[in-house]
């Protein structure tokens, strides 16, 4: 299932070249991904942290294809994939799209860890929600 949110480039995110600074692309992806995790997976970061469960990123790769400009209204997509090897990882393929063109694409990988330390895992509540998710075939 592809999840989508719409945002507008903020003036303070524009650099001296009059394009959005590369630092902000992952932030917009994070906003969308966190909403997906909260709304679709029913994982509330604040509540889970208080219960001793941290969801953290373990890796990401990002490709910048085109630049956004001041005031551009754009969409961020988020699609969840399970791990090919069956590891306790969540893979999120994300894109930033403007005028039907992919501006930036990325894959973010995360897992959960106990707040007290310990091995990565995915809570049963999350496993139940992702059982029908496709498997990420690429690395």
Q: Hey, how many other C-beta atoms are within 10 angstroms of the C-beta on 56?
A: 9
For the chain, which domains are there? 2-130 (3.10.129.10)
Residue 125 has pLDDT above 60, yes or no: yes
Sheet with 73-82: list strands edge to edge: 2-8, 73-82, 90-98, 101-114, 53-64
Residue 138 has pLDDT above 90, yes or no: no
Q: Per residue in 3-17, pLDDT tens? A: 999 999 999 999 999
Q: Per residue in 21-51, pLDDT tens? A: 999 999 999 999 999 999 999 999 999 999 9
């Amino acid at each position: 299932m592809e999840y989508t949110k719409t945002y507008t480039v903020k003036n303070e995110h524009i650099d001296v070249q009059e394009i959005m600074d590369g630092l902000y692309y992952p932030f917009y992806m994070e906003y969308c991904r966190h909403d997906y995790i909260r709304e679709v997976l029913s994982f509330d970061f604040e509540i889970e942290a208080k219960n001793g469960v941290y969801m953290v990123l373990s890796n990401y790769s990002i490709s910048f294809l085109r630049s956004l400009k001041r005031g551009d209204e754009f969409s961020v997509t988020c699609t969840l994939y399970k791990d090919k090897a069956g590891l306790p990882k969540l893979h999120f393929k994300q894109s930033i799209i403007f005028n039907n063109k992919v501006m930036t694409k990325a894959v973010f990988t995360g897992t959960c860890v106990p707040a007290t330390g310990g091995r990565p895992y995915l809570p049963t509540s999350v496993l139940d929600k992702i059982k029908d998710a496709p498997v990420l075939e690429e690395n």
